[in-house]
Structures are given as structure tokens and as C-alpha cells.
Amino acid sequence: MMNAIKPAAIKTALEQYFGGHFLQILNAFLMVVVFFSGKFSFARFLDESARVPWLELRIWAILGIFVSMIFLKENRKDLFKMERGVLFFFGTYAVFLTYVFINLFNWGTETHRNDLVYDSLVVIASLILISIQFKDEQGIVRFCKAAELFGGVLFMLCLVGFGNPDLNGSGWAPFGGPITFYRIEFFVFCAAVFLAFKSTKRREQVVHLLFAVVTLYSTFASLSKMATAAAMLAIVYLTYILVSKGDYKKAGLLVLSGVVTFTLFVKTFGTRFVGRINEISNISVEKSASSEVVFIPDNVKLLYRNDLKFEELSVDQKKKMISVGSFFYDNYPNYQEEFAGFLRFVDRYAIIYDGSARLRMWMEAFDLFKAHRWFGGGVGNYSYTELNYYAKGGMETYRYPHNIFFELVSTTGLVGLALFGLCLFVFLVLVSRAVDKFPAFVFLQGYMLFVFLTSMFAGDLFDFKIFWFMGCALISSARSTLSNGGINS
């Protein structure tokens, strides 16, 4: 009879694989939660509409890491010790955030003020934690290995059909919307490639590349058009870096992995993905009758102002707007070609369905910026409301324009954009220095490019935190003078 596996043997195996003792491994898993968890609360397991701040996963993960670090003897002396570059970044980030708070309390929204302050404090605490926790390359390795397991579990959940169709339709996303999902999965792709190209053992390389393939497939399977494009651009960037360094074999493996994965995706999700792309321009009569295509003449324009509430429209007004929209599409199905020039001059009167409403949200943000150029309209004051047949109550309100730069200029003005730009410039210089020191970090820098590109079409200023978190981890890890392999210098 076979001997039972002893807990001590499992503990030893884990410590050997992750390259650290148990508390360091636990911290690596908790750090994955800190990086990617938003407002997801334990309460949602009981009530999907509930969100209790003190039950949020990220809060408990942050507390768990701080507590465990106290028990790590070698970490005690580093609790308040940070890399000089991180302190420099913190200085510029503090200036930017101070302006954001001044803007918020002077011109910003009162309705969401507490939430914005709370989110900002969580980001600050997370950055401090990351700057302390990541002190060498091995910390990055442990974090990437922990993330691999998270990404693999999400892939398996999607594979067996566990998903969230209410938010993502036919695309993959087990919990919440697709943004968090594809950002986790593409990070695991970058992390797995990072681990594969660092490892000297063939078996480990194969396993990591397998994780890379399945999580890249998951990224594509989210059916996010921007995520797919950003992933391809990030792979092209990484290939360019590898070729410029003379690592032709690794560049070839990276390209081969991408081509094979995309081919599998096209074979399995191709039709649905093309359908998502066509939604930008193809409009069915049913959607037209649902008021998603609405032509608004000048005398009706006031009925569709930005702060419009659904209950303010009478039944007769709703019927008129829907019937006019239906008539418009039924008589001019090829409006994009026939009215291409005309619509450029009447875009403030014609609301054209584009499948995502992003163009209209950006226009609204630009209008807010033009009215408040220097200091913006106030943090949290952006609001875009439109009729949406699928939304609860028939009305959809967006609190951010799904583009980080439009959000910045519209709510914080040119001053906020300039301070953010300064912070971003300093940050990228420091990240570049970290990559110069540890060339293998370039794969994680590629992930930062992915986050930056997707922030042009999804998420808000606080979703951009992943960009800061990843870069801060790289900068902090560069304090070490030891490296255990990577791409050619």
C-alpha cells in the first residue's frame, strides 16, 4: 500500500518550485489578488448586487500580506525601505494625486467623492506594499508562477462553460466583465513566456509555453476587439526586442506560439469574433426599433441632453424617437456610405449606433474639456447617458469615457494631463532602467504596453492601476544585483 503524501513533503515541493518558503509563496498568491481584484466582494457570492467595502478581496489580500511580512524575519528591516527610483516615482505620483484630490474637493462630484477617495487610498496602499514586497528577481518569478495557476483555473472554467453571459455575451469571462478577465489572461501569457525563456529545464519550458498558449487563447476568446489587437501589437513589440537582441530562436518560438494560438482561435471562435466586429456597423431592424439608432432634429435635441433621466421622457416621446430611428434605418440601410460626408457635419444631431458608444462618449468628453480647458469639469463629473434597450430601465449612464486620456482632459483639464504626463514619463524611464538591468523583464514590460493600449478603449483612471503596479514591481526588483538568466543583454 502506497504511503500517504505527507504535508511536509508537499510544503517542501512547493518551496522548491516557487523558490521561497511558505509565507513568501502565500504572499505571491495574495499579490495576484491585489494586482487584479477590483471591487469584487465576498458578499457577491451571496448577493450579486452587494458590495461591502470591508469584505472586498483586495482589502483582505493587502492585510494578509502586511501581516505575513511581519513574520518574515528578513523582511522586517525592509518594511520601510524602498528603492530610490520608486521613491522618485512616488514623488511625482503624489503631486499628481494631490492635484486630483484638490480638483475633486473643489470642482468634483460629491455623489461619488467617498468612493474615489477610497479607491485612491487602496491604490496608494497597494503601491507601497508592492515596493516593499518585490525586492529581487525571484519575487517576480514567484508572482508569475502564482499567476499561472490563476490563469489556468480561469481557462478551465471557461472551457467547461462556466461564464458570465449577461455581461459578455458569447465571449469568455467567468466572473464580471471581460476587461479584468483578458488583463489577467494576457498577463499570464507574458509571465509564462518570461518563465519559459528563463528556465534551463526543457520540461519546465514546455509547461510554461503551454500555459502561454492557453491563456493567449483565453485573451482572444474574450472576443474583445481591442484586447486582440493589443495582444498582437505586444507580441510584435516583444518579437522586435528579441530580434534586436539576437535571440532569434526565442523570437521564433514567440511568433510560432502566437500564430498557432490565433489559428486555433479562428477555427473555434472565428464566426463569433467576426460577428462582434460587424456589430460596429451592422444594425438590425430590431435594434433600430429598440431606439439604438435615433435621429434627433434640433427641436428635439434638448430631450437627449447628457443628464437625461429615463423617467423624464413621456411615452409619446419614446415612441416618436424610436419610430424616427426605425424609419431612418429602413429607408437608408447604407447610411454609412450614402451620408458619409453629411454625417460629419450633423454628428451632434445624429446618434448613430456603433456597437460600443465609445465615439459618442469621447465627443462628450471633448465637449466637457472645451468648456473647462485648464482644470477640467471636475473629477467624477463626467457622465454620458443614452437610451439603451438592454440596460435596466432602458437608460445607460457611463461615468467615464472609456479612454484614460479623454477622462483626464475632461475631468482634470490640461493641468491634470500635464502632471499625469510627467508622472508617466518618469515612470517609463525607471521601468526602462529596470529592464536594462534584467533583460528578461521585457516580457512583463510588454504586458504594460498591452494595458496601456487597452486603456485607450476600456476602463478608467483606477483600472490603469495595473500599469503602475506592474512597473513598480519591476523597478523595486531592480534593487537586486543578482539575476538568474534571461534574454541576451
Domain residue ranges of the chain, discontinuous segments joined by +: 7-81, 281-353
Rounded distance between C-alpha atoms, residue 268 and residue 98, angstroms: 48
Position 200 scores a pLDDT of: 86
Position 180 scores a pLDDT of: 87
Position 51 scores a pLDDT of: 55
pTM comes to 0.81
Which regions of 172-269 does DSSP assign to beta strands (E)? none
Spatial contact of 58 and 447, defined as CB atoms under 8 Å apart:
no
Distances (CA, A) of 181 to 47, 53, 175, 284, 450: 21, 21, 8, 29, 13
Rounded distance between C-alpha atoms, residue 380 and residue 70, angstroms: 37
Position 286 scores a pLDDT of: 38
Position 279 scores a pLDDT of: 60
Judging by DSSP bridges, how do beta strands 384-387 and 395-398 pair with one another?
antiparallel
Residue 294: its H or E element:
strand 294-295
Position 364 scores a pLDDT of: 87
Q: How many CA atoms lie within 13 A of 188 on its CB side?
A: 30
Nine-digit cell at 194?
Answer: 518570461
- CA nearest 338: which of 329, 326, 327? 329
Distances (CA, A) of 130 to 69, 476, 477: 12, 8, 10
Q: What is the pLDDT of residues 70-126, one digit of tens each?
A: 666 555 555 556 667 788 899 999 999 999 999 999 999 888 888 888 889 989 999
Position 64 scores a pLDDT of: 82
Position 282 scores a pLDDT of: 46
Position 178 scores a pLDDT of: 83
Spatial contact of 472 and 132, defined as CB atoms under 8 Å apart:
no
Burial 226-263 (b: 16+ CB within 10 A, else e): bbbebbeebbeebbebbeeeebeebbebbbebbeebbe
Residue 221: its H or E element:
helix 202-221
Helix 137-159 vs helix 178-198: angle between axes, to the nearest 10 degrees? 130
Position 113 scores a pLDDT of: 87
Position 41 scores a pLDDT of: 52
Residues (pLDDT < 50) of the chain are 1-2, 42-49, 281-311, 340-354, 389-390, 483-489
